[in-house]
């Protein structure tokens, strides 16, 4: 029997079996259930590497990493080993803790080798991104690694000894793997840390809390697969990666105000969704974890017509939109006053993939109207984060963000 004839018989048999029982012939020749037919090529290498920092890390300082490992980068996690907090006493009645580690940063920057900023993340964007997009089981693991938001005793335990804090970075490689084929298209990650005094919550004692960062490293999950072929392909045709670009508009509102309208002047183009928060002015310590409740909000066009149909209340935002648009109970069960409105039909899926699932075109004259529960007794800071569709272009000579 010829090989061609044998192949024909096997294909017919496979088709009949698959049609009858949803079975397929695996790469090893065995007829198996379709769910067991996937395999990884022998030339694929999956590993997690640990990149040391370029300089010593310290609270109030800047620490930098050069990410040059060739391959497809699927995950970046900052690992900080930190000493116990000392110098604060109170006869046993005192408590001292760090705020969750994702709130330790003034900013996080992703740069190309020319020093051009590809992305900037603030502390709110980092924590809300993980809470927004991860299902509860993953969110709880993330929380445990940074110091649980809803458990002060856990944060106090971590602060009482040398502990590792693992901060998962929500960067472009959450929407698509970041490809590095040579030093030209590698990345620089730069972390601007808050001063220690701004991230410690101490009660019931006296003294000045002290702590230090013992070491800092970056954990990268990398897939290596036919790198020479990938490098040759990118040399011929640059690779475009769909991403979400972020627009941050901070606004200061004076005390005595019960309602405000903010012109969204920076929003021009296709936007998938936006969220906003209200916190005390220049928050630090426990205020970093505290969001101010509002009564309702509206989004208006340039003619002051409501483009979302009605005023959305705090309860509706958390319990209706929070249930329909978000994969986690962080906004609903935990009564976090973080407000999201989406023009995409599945913002969580957009956040994870960068795929176009609907948007609204903004012209820079729209307004966000916020009604507070009462007149403000002190100044507040409103942070508006809007997410638009964009792309990165990776080529053999570098990496750049494509113009919208």
Instruction: Provide the percentage of residues in the chain whose pLDDT is more than 70.
Output: 84
Q: What torsion do the CA atoms of 109, 395, 267, 104 make, to the nearest 10 degrees?
A: -10
7 confidence band (pLDDT: 50, 70, 90): low
The pLDDT of residue 401 is 82
Any domain includes 63: yes
Please give the Cα distance from 214 to 220 (Å, whole number). Answer: 20
Task: Write out pLDDT tens, residues 117-162.
Answer: 888 887 777 777 766 666 777 777 888 899 988 889 999 999 999 9
Choose the weakest-confidence range: 192-206, 217-231, 359-373.
Answer: 217-231
> Does residue 227 sit in the same domain as residue 256?
no
Whether residue 255 is found in the same domain as residue 219: no
pLDDT at 392: 85
Per the CB < 8 A criterion, the answer to whether 334 and 322 are in contact is no
Residues 98 and 189 in one domain: yes
Residue owning tokens 């690992």: 79
Q: What is the 3-state secondary structure (H, E, C) of 157-212?
A: HHHCCCEEEEEECCCHHHCCCEEECCHHHCEEEEEEECCHHHHEEEECCEEEEECC
Q: How many CB atoms lie within 10 A of CB 8?
A: 11
364 or 135, higher pLDDT: 364
Question: Roughly what angle, to the nearest 10 degrees, separates helices 123-133 and 136-146?
Answer: 150
> Residues 321, 342: one domain?
yes
**Cβ partners under 8 Å of residue 5, min gap 6:** none
Q: pTM of the entire structure? A: 0.84
Q: Are residues 213 and 246 in the same domain?
A: no
Q: Tell me: pLDDT of 39 over 60.
A: no
User: Is residue 91 classed exposed, middle or buried when 0-12, 13-18 and 19+ CB atoms within 10 A define those classes?
Assistant: exposed
Tell me whether residue 401 is in a domain: no
Same domain, 69 and 184: yes
Stretch among 100-109, 141-150, 273-282 having the lowest mean pLDDT? 141-150
Query: In the predicted model, is pLDDT for residue 253 greater than 90?
Result: yes
Q: What pLDDT band is residue 15 in, cutting at 50, 70 and 90?
A: low
Tens digits of residue pLDDT in 182-194: 888 899 999 999 9
Q: Bigger pLDDT: 11 or 388?
A: 388
Work out how many domains the chain is built from and give that number: 3
Q: Residue 20, class by beta-carbon neighbours within 10 Å (0-12 exposed, 13-18 middle, 19+ buried)? A: exposed
Q: Is residue 181 part of a domain?
A: yes
> What are 244's two structure tokens?
């979400």
User: What is residue 63's predicted lDDT score, i.e. its pLDDT?
Assistant: 97
How many C-beta atoms lie closer than 10 Å to residue 57's C-beta? 22
The pLDDT-based confidence of 274 (bands split at 50, 70, 90) is: very high
Mean of per-residue pLDDT scores for the chain: 85
What pLDDT is stored for residue 197 in this prediction?
Answer: 96
pLDDT on residue 293: 92
The encoded tokens of residue 80 equal: 């900080």
Residue 403 lies in a domain: no
Q: Which range (46-60, 168-182, 206-220, 282-296) has the least confidence?
A: 168-182
Confidence of residue 341 (pLDDT cuts 50, 70, 90): very high
Determine the pLDDT at residue 211.
97
The pLDDT of residue 14: 57
Identify whether residues 20 and 144 lie together within a single domain: no
Do residue 305 and residue 255 come from a single domain? yes
Q: Which helix (H) or strand (E) holds 288?
A: none
pLDDT at 353: 81
pLDDT band of 351, cuts 50, 70, 90: confident
Give domain status of residue 402, yes or no: no
Rounded to whole angstroms, the Cα distance separating 86 from 181 reads 45
User: Once rounded to an integer, what is the mean pLDDT over residues 71-79?
Assistant: 89
Report how far residue 248's alpha carbon sits from residue 155's, in angstroms, rounded to the nearest whole number: 29
> Is position 404 within any domain?
no
Could you give the C-alpha distances from 44 to 41, 180, 226, 326, in angstroms and in order?
6, 16, 7, 34
Please determine, for residue 27, whether its predicted confidence score (pLDDT) is greater than 80.
Answer: no
- Positive or negative torsion for Cα 278, 283, 284, 286: negative
Per-residue pLDDT at 10 exceeds 60 = no
Question: Are 322 and 157 a contacting pair, CB within 8 Å?
Answer: no
Question: Lowest-pLDDT range, 7-16, 245-254, 386-395?
Answer: 7-16
Chosen domain end from 237, 270, 292: 237
pLDDT value for 295: 96
Say if 196 falls within a structural domain: yes
Please check whether residues 247 and 190 belong to one and the same domain.
no
165 and 193 in a single domain? The answer is: yes
From 237, 257, 287, give the residue that closes a domain.
237
What's the CATH number where 306 sits?
A: 2.70.9.20
Q: Which two tokens mark 300?
A: 């208006």
Please check whether residue 61 lies inside any domain of the structure.
Answer: yes
Q: Are 28 and 81 within one domain?
A: no
Query: Do 89 and 111 belong together in one domain?
Result: yes
Domain range for 105 is: 44-237
> Could you tell me the CATH number of the domain that includes residue 56?
2.70.9.10
SS3 280: strand
Task: Report the sign of the C-alpha dihedral through residues 137, 141, 143, 147, in that order.
Answer: positive
Domain boundary among 188, 204, 237: 237
| The pLDDT of residue 238 | 85
């Amino acid at each position: 029997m010829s090989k061609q004839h044998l192949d024909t018989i096997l294909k017919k048999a496979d088709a009949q079996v698959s049609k009858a029982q949803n079975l397929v012939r695996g790469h090893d020749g065995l007829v198996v259930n379709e769910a067991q037919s996937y395999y990884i090529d022998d030339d694929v290498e999956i590993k997690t590497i640990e990149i040391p920092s370029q300089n010593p890390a310290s609270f109030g300082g800047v620490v930098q990493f050069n990410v040059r490992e060739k391959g497809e980068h699927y995950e970046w996690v900052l690992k900080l080993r930190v000493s116990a907090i000392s110098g604060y006493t109170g006869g046993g009645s005192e408590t001292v803790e760090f705020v969750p580690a994702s709130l330790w940063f003034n900013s996080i920057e992703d740069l190309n080798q020319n020093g051009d900023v590809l992305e900037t993340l603030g502390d709110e964007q980092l924590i809300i991104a993980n809470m927004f997009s991860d299902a509860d089981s993953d969110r709880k693991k993330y929380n445990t690694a940074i110091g649980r938001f809803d458990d002060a005793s856990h944060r106090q335990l971590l602060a009482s000894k040398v502990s590792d804090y693992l901060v998962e970075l929500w960067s472009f490689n959450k929407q698509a793997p970041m490809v590095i084929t040579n030093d030209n298209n590698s990345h620089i990650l730069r972390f601007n840390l808050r001063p220690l005094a701004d991230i410690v919550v101490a009660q019931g004692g006296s003294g000045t809390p002290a702590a230090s960062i013992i070491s800092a490293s970056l954990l990268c999950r990398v897939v290596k697969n036919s790198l020479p072929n990938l490098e040759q392909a990118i040399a011929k045709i640059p690779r475009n990666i769909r991403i979400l670009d972020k627009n941050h508009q901070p606004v200061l509102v004076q005390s005595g105000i019960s309602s405000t309208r903010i012109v969204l002047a920076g929003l021009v183009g296709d936007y998938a969704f936006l969220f906003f928060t209200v916190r005390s002015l220049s928050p630090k310590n426990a205020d970093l974890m505290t969001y101010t409740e509002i009564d309702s909000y509206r989004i208006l066009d340039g003619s002051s017509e409501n483009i979302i149909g009605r005023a959305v209340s705090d309860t509706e935002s958390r319990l209706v939109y929070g249930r329909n648009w978000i994969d986690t109970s962080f906004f609903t069960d935990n009564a976090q006053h973080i407000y999201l409105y989406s023009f995409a039909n599945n913002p969580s899926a957009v956040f994870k993939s960068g795929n176009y699932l609907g948007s609204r075109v903004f012209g820079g004259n729209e307004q966000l109207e916020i009604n507070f529960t009462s007149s403000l007794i002190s100044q507040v800071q409103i942070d508006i984060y809007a997410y638009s569709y964009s792309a990165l272009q990776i080529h053999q000579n570098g990496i750049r963000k494509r113009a919208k």
